[in-house]
Amino acid sequence: MASGAYSEALRRLYSANLFLRVKQGLRNTHWLMHELGSPHLAVPVIHVAGTNGKGSVCWKLAAACEAAGLRTGLFSSPHVSSFRERVRINGEVMSESDVVEGLGAVDRAAEATGAPATFFERTTAMAMRHFDAADVDVAVLETGLGGRLDSTNVVPEPLAAVLTTIGMDHTSVLGDTVEQVAWEKAGIAKRGRPLVAGPCTPQALVGTWCRIRGAPFLPVPHGWWPQRPGEDERFQGHDGRTEDRGGSGGGGGVEAIADRSGWLPRALPTELLRAHGVPVAALPVPPELHGWEYDDDNSLVALWALRAVAAAPLPSGRPPVSAPRSPGTAADDAARRLLARARRTRDALAGCGLPARPAGCSAGPLAVAFASRPPCRMDAVAIAPAAWASACAPHGPAPAPPLPPLPASLASLVEESATQSAPLPAEAPAGVVVFDAAHNPEAMLAFAATLGRRLGGAAGAAPTARALVLACSEDRDPSVMAAAALPLVGRAGLVFVAEADASKAMDPAALGAAVVRAAHPAWAAARSRDRGGGAGEDDDETLLAEAAAAGLEVPSVFRRRRHDGEEAAEDARRGRAAAAAASRAAAGVAPGARLSLDAERDEAWKRGEVDAASGVGLRYGARERHVSAVGQAVREAMLDAARRAGGVDGGGTPLVIVCGSVYAMREARQAAGIREPVDDVVK
């Protein structure tokens, strides 16, 4: 149970956006940092942005730095079960007392400066102050949204900047083309500091931006395999031509890292690259390398970032002219702390003998770091029989067949889990629950493809009884999310769609209807023709009822129970969103098109959209205890999988897959019986 002071601090923090017009920009964060003693000028930072993969890359970077003997801070978002997860030092989450003290200092700074600081601006300032006070050697910062105007971008001289992937997400803010999104995210590039761009980024565009900013540019090639003996080091471009990469005799410096790698390129799955807007043709891939997974690219990007830090010169310690100036002694002290910490970090990483590829870390702490994943990223948790039975109890008794050992494919996933920190117990688990946030189509496609490959397809090379719990945010395309996730189970009847306990949760009926269309395309097409080619608004509840009446399998649908007055507040919020959309349409702004990021322009439209997205006051308080829609769906799925497990090839392992939204993870993990710190106040 959280302390009263901690819960009250979170309640104040979560309420910050209710009285402000949220906008991107650095002014408020600069004012807060200045008032707090400029901790952003004293802490060496590895700055990470991207559409997908940035959380995993940050996690690997922090784990590797810690393995190198460095005191390492990690700032990431969003959190799953507790706000304290956002700020870690050497893997340990921030304590409740430190959160209370840190947020109090930030509140006083905001009052002193008059800065209308938002939730994320206050959280960023708190994290940097905490890292400076704790004397970390290096901090890994994950951007919240975009990059150029993200609060984390107040750091003037990161040790390295990293772009993981670029995809179409948050288009109304970042832009409605890959080029616009890339330009915003590449805004974390700083003069004289290396920027590492991952394989699924428009590297030519990012490289141009780096040249404009004067930042050394390190493009990570589109998938690589180790160079075989006797092969020369030549790069095969996507047009089929080859060019010399310079070999091991290339020059020194940061940008020479790419030329000394000793690797040859290979193709990632073409549909993933194209989904990210990367126009590439497939390259030949050796048969033995078809097991390449999406997380391998995260490991590769993290490794190249560390090599860039080890090769780059130390930062100058001079703040930019445009930033608020700290008093002379405070600025000088911050610069001295920055340089001392940066030198320790560079020397420690340079002494690790970082290889050119993650496979070069075949054993030891670095190998563990690059193989690690954060919670709720391909996070497979083995559930003990008692916990599984307890989860199923409210919905009916779960059968208790003889429990076979976990199939090897599932056991290996569990061993890699961030949540399953302890070794597997001697007692065979009752089943496995896999959690993955997979919050957009690209992430869902990558997750489904990798998990399907690891487990052997929908039927399963190893006997498993599967069920899928799917919950998404309302700004996603339900048809795309459903089509990407359905192959994990293969049948609509094995899908449980739920409404997450979040202000922007997708209507579960819309998601359920999308599952029906993906599972029964011929029936859906015939129905559309009968309705006149899809003219008029289609009612999702009606579609689900008609599909069930036709004898088709349909998903189970779970709605969130509203609190007193919340239904009216939700209706009002959606009304404001509709009014904002109408304003945009009247002005000729296309749905989903980019708005100006500057506060002075597009104010009316942007105020309406942000108000619609920021939630309602009733949501930022202590919750009455109740069974959530996601919790109900998970428990029903666990019961269903357990009942079917005995009939799969003479006995199988129940496997429940939960994905689609990070905001569903907290409820799902609680329902599955996972014990971890949980806040009383939720956002």
* 3-state per-residue secondary structure call for 111-164: HHHCCCCCHHHHHHHHHHHHHHHCCCCEEEEECCCCCCCCHHHHCCCCCEEEEE
Mean pLDDT over 454-482 rounds to 80
Which has the higher per-residue pLDDT, 129 or 576?
129
CATH numbers and ranges of domains, the chain: 31-242+251-371 (3.40.1190.10), 379-561+629-671 (3.90.190.20)
Decide the pairing of beta strands 87-89 and 72-75: antiparallel
* DSSP structure string for 456-492: TTTT-SS-EEEEEEE--BTTS-HHHHHHHHGGGTSSG
Nearest to 142 by CA among 57, 34, 65, 22: 57
pLDDT of residue 423: 58
Q: Which residues of 190-217 are buried (b: 16+ CB within 10 A; e: fewer)?
A: beebbbbbbbbbbbebbbebbeebebbb
Share of the chain above pLDDT 70, in %: 70
Mean of the pLDDT values across residues 406-429?
76
Residue type at 169? D
Which of 456, 385, 465, 372 is closest to 420 using CA atoms?
372
Find tokens 């807007």 and name the residue. Answer: 277
pLDDT tier for residue 132 given thresholds of 50, 70 and 90: very high
State residue 623's pLDDT score: 40
Asked if residues 579 and 571 have their Cβ atoms less than 8 Å apart, the reply is: no
d(CA 621, CA 216): 47
Residue the block writes with tokens 């310690």: 317
Lowest mean pLDDT among 81-95, 334-348, 440-454, 538-552: 440-454
Per-residue pLDDT tens for 185-234? 999 999 999 999 988 888 888 888 899 889 999 988 765 444 444 433 33
* pLDDT of amino acid 576: 66
Tell how strand 379-383 and strand 431-436 pair up.
antiparallel
**From CA 220, how far away is CA 201, in angstroms rounded?**
9
- Over the stretch 221-273, which tens digit does the pLDDT of each residue have? 765 444 444 433 333 333 333 333 333 333 344 444 433 333 333 333 444 43
Residue 569: burial class (beta carbons within 10 Å; 0-12, 13-18, 19+): middle
Which pLDDT does position 419 carry in this prediction?
Answer: 82
Which amino acid belongs to residue 487?
P
pLDDT above 90 for 657: yes
Burial environment of residue 327 by CB neighbours within 10 A (0 to 12, 13 to 18, 19 or more): exposed
Calculate Rg over the CA atoms of the chain.
25
Extract long-range pairs of 154-157: CB within 8 Å, 24+ residues apart: 154/26, 154/29, 154/30, 154/33, 154/40, 154/124, 154/323, 155/40, 155/45, 155/47, 156/40, 156/41, 156/190, 156/318, 156/319, 156/320, 156/323, 157/190, 157/192, 157/193, 157/315, 157/316, 157/317, 157/338
Asked if 137 contacts 71 with a C-beta cutoff of 8 angstroms, the reply is: yes
* Structure confidence by residue, pLDDT tens digits, 49-59: 998 899 999 99
Within 13 Å and on the Cβ side, how many CA atoms surround 270? 8
- Binning pLDDT at 50, 70 and 90, where does residue 288 land? very low
Task: Provide the 3-class DSSP secondary structure of residue 334.
Answer: helix
CA gap 40, 97 in Å, rounded: 22
Residue 520 half-sphere exposure toward CB, CA atoms < 13 A: 21
Largest CA distance in the chain: 77
Mean pLDDT score of the chain: 78
Which range (168-182, 265-279, 405-419, 534-548) has the least confidence? 265-279
CA 271 to chain centre: 20
Q: Is 70 exceeded by the pLDDT of residue 73?
A: yes
φ, ψ for residue 482 (rounded to 5)? -65, -45
Task: Give rounded-to-5 percent helix, strand, coil for the chain.
Answer: 45, 10, 40
pLDDT value, residue 435:
96
pTM of the full predicted structure? 0.82
| Range from 345-359, 377-391, 568-582 carrying the lowest mean pLDDT | 568-582
- The DSSP code sequence of 558-582 is EPPPPPTTHHHHHHHHHHHHHHHHH
- Using an 8 Å Cβ cutoff, are 392 and 635 in contact? yes
Comparing 546 with 259, the larger pLDDT belongs to 546
Q: How high is the pLDDT of residue 585?
A: 67
Quick one: pLDDT band at residue 2, thresholds 50, 70, 90?
A: low
Q: Of 43, 17, 1, whose CA–CA distance to 344 is shortest?
A: 43
